[in-house]
């Protein structure tokens, strides 16, 4: 995971935020712990322009339609994630 992010990278969405490798790793670990049977999967193909990338994803059982979906907007720095702003498109009430 560390190789994907710049050292001072930031992540923010409506539920959480973090900066730097340790905090971002902690956010990812917390999601993996809470939804241990779920996996992230891309929806469609990422779209990029210059150093900006937009991609949609789902979180759910592997090989099935995920009940949780979102779209993230990222800024890259030398090919590594520098800033990611996440939007939650679909979240069940129980999540």
Amino acid 3: pLDDT: 83
**What's the pTM?**
0.88
Whether the Cβ atoms of residue 53 and residue 46 lie closer than 8 Å to each other = yes
Query: Is 95 domain-assigned?
Result: no
Residues near 42 by Cβ (< 8 Å), separated by ≥ 6? 55, 56, 57
Domain count, the chain: 1
φ, ψ for residue 74 (rounded to 5)?
-125, 150
User: What domain range is 67 assigned to?
Assistant: 2-90
In a domain, residue 71? The reply is yes
Quick check: is 60 in a domain? yes
Does residue 38 fall inside a structural domain? yes
pLDDT tens-place values along the chain, 95 residues long: 668 999 999 999 999 999 999 999 999 999 999 999 999 999 999 999 999 999 999 999 999 999 999 999 999 999 999 999 999 999 998 76
Residue 79, domain member (yes or no): yes
Read off the CATH number of the domain in which 20 is found.
3.10.450.50
How far, in Å, CA of 11 to CA of 73, rounded? 10
């Amino acid at each position: 995971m560390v190789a994907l992010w710049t050292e001072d990278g930031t992540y923010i969405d409506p539920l959480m935020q973090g900066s730097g490798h340790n905090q971002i790793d902690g956010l990812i670990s917390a999601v993996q712990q809470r939804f241990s049977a779920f996996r992230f999967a891309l929806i469609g193909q990422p779209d990029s322009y210059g150093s900006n990338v937009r991609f949609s994803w789902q979180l759910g059982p592997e090989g099935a339609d995920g009940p949780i979906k979102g779209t993230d907007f990222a800024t890259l720095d030398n090919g590594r994630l520098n800033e990611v702003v996440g939007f939650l498109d679909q979240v069940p009430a129980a999540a």
